Amino acid sequence: MKKVVIALIALIISVAIWGALATSQTPPTSTFKTESMSIGEISNTVSATGTLAAVDDVVVGAQLSGQITEVYVDFNDSVSENQLLAQLDPRTFAAQVAQAQANVDKTTADIALQQLTVRQAIVDLEQAQRDLVRAQELAKQRSISADELDDAETLVTTQQINVERSNTQLQVLAATLASNQASLAQAQIQLDRTEIRAPITGFVIDRTIEPGQTVASSYNTPELFTLAKDLTQMEIEAYIDESDIGQISLGQRAQFNVDAYPERQFRGKVDQIQKAPQTSSGVISYTVVINANNQQNLLLPGMTANLEISIDAVPKAQRISNAAIRVASRFNNNDEQPKQRGMLGQLNLTEAQRQLLRDKMPKRDASMGPGRGVAEQQKQRMDKILNEILTPEQLALRDQLQSGKIKRGQVLILRDGEAEPLQVDIGLSDDQYTQIISPDLTGLEVITQIKVQR
């Protein structure tokens, strides 16, 4: 019996060992998840938040200090240019106008009186001149003494001084009148400023005062109303991080939504890039102004906009998911990778273009040496020839290659149950897709996931 038990145990151990060895010798198998190339839009965007505001809005303030006696408009009221919006207590300023007017009237009367004085001085001078002529004739006849003649001459001189004095006093009064008139005009301006009027035609979007409230303009202008000319055009002041501002340019498209309509997308364009930096908690940003249509008046001033500014966009791109790029980057099969193509290979030159390039490009002579200047000349010559023989589409592709907008990469294609690397030219990428510029992936199964089973 013991021998039977021992034999069974030995058999079980042998079977277990054989099974383990058989399992360890089974090669691992791989399963692949694939997808086909699709056609769709790819866009590279910069995200930001901003605040909506009316394009043409005006803050109406008070230039004087005083008490508000009347408010004639309310929120959302339509107003026309120069319409009376509110009234400051005018009594103090009306009294100043009355005082200035009284000063003008008094000076005017003084001028009229002084004009009579001037006329009287002229009459007295003319009489003294006639008396002097008679005295001179009598002095020739020795009918009057020399002292009497001197008195006549002195009287003429005195009357001349009186005329000059009277004219000077008249000029002083004229200057006083001009000053009083200026004071009257200033007082009238101050009185007019007690009437708060609309500078534009539009409607009231904000009002910060009530009747009986006192405003003070000693240090800054109190803001009483905000008027908007039109809300069919809105603007967004967005703050763009300094790391992204270099990608923003005028005219770029933007789309945004607001919390009031989270499912609705609004569109706009970059209208202004302000160069003044804004610093908050050590982070530097720049203000970018985006204009947007608001024909349905859904957008209101002060709303927060969640923005996506389109940097680059391809509306009908050959695209694959980003997972395909990530899987290919982890795939280690260097022996089977195809050789890298140069830029000329990526331009897909026709045979005729290749022949033209060979004919126009001079062969490098060994006597030219390996100098750096020679290589630069060769490059310039090559660029000139390419500018002549390439099509507009090929020229655009070359510029993209040189600027780095197109990059080299690889994807994995499923062929006969095996992963095969394929060299590709990569364009734009967003958070879901990557653009494949070449080659054409139509009909190919692109691997997006590899699972290895042992």
Q: Do 183 and 239 reside in the same domain of the chain?
A: no
16: helix, strand or coil:
helix
Could you report the per-residue pLDDT of 380-411, keeping only the tens digit for each?
Answer: 787 788 888 888 877 877 777 766 667 778 88
Kindly tell me if the per-residue pLDDT of 205 is higher than 80: yes
The rounded distance, in Å, linking the Cα atoms of 431 and 289 is 25
Same domain assignment for residues 395 and 437: yes
Give pLDDT tens digits for 283-295: 999 999 999 999 8
Length of the chain: 454
Does 352 reside within a domain?
Answer: yes
Q: Are residues 250 and 366 in the same domain?
A: no
Evaluate the CA torsion angle 54, 58, 59, 60 in order and state its sign: negative
pLDDT surpassing 50 at residue 57: yes
Let me know whether 216 and 76 are in one domain. yes
Domain end call among 276, 295, 316: 316
Pair 188, 108 in one domain: yes
- Residue at which a domain ends, from 132, 167, 192: 192
Long-range contacts of 281-284 (CB under 8 A, 24+ apart): 283/241, 284/241, 284/242
174 and 202 together in one domain: no
Q: Is the pLDDT of residue 357 over 50?
A: yes
Q: Give the position of tokens 């959302």.
A: 76
Q: Which of 48, 440, 53, 35 is nearest to 240 (CA)?
A: 48
Task: Answer yes or no: is 33 within a domain.
Answer: no
CB 77 within 8 A of CB 204: yes
Q: Quick check: bond before 370 cis, omega within 30?
A: no
Q: Which strands sit side by side in the sheet containing 202-207, from one edge to the other?
A: 57-61, 223-228, 202-207, 78-79
Residues 315-336, mean pLDDT to the nearest whole number: 76
Residue pair 76/203 in contact by the 8 Å Cβ criterion:
yes
- Cα separation, 12 vs 301, whole angstroms: 83
- 201 in the same domain as 84: yes
Q: Taking phi first (over 0 means left), then psi (-120 to 50 degrees means alpha), and beta for anything else, what does residue 224 get? A: alpha
> Is 212 within a domain?
yes
| Residue 153: inside a domain | yes
- Within 13 A of 197's CA, how many CA atoms are on the CB side? 10
Residue 289: per-residue pLDDT: 96
Domain CATH number, residue 235: 2.40.30.170
Residue with tokens 């691992």: 28
Residue 366 is assigned to a structural domain of this protein: yes
Q: Flag whether 235 is in a domain.
A: yes
Residue 6 lies in a domain: no
Residues spanned by the domain of 346: 317-453
pLDDT band at residue 27 under the 50/70/90 scheme: low
Domain shared by 183 and 260, yes or no: no
Shared-domain flag, residues 276 and 407: no
pLDDT given at position 334: 43
Summary mean pLDDT of the chain? 84
Q: Which of 443, 446, 403 is nearest to 424 (CA)?
A: 446
Same structural domain, 209 and 338: no
Least confident of 198-207, 226-235, 301-310, 420-429: 420-429
Rounded CA-CA distance 236/256 in Å is: 10
Do 184 and 293 lie in one domain? The reply is no
Mean pLDDT, residues 7-25 taken together: 56
Give the end of a domain, one of 301, 316, 331: 316
Same-domain pairing of 216 and 322: no
Q: How many domains does the chain have?
A: 4
Whichever domain contains 223, its CATH number is 2.40.50.100
Please give the single-letter amino acid code of residue 208: T
| Residue 21 covered by a domain | no
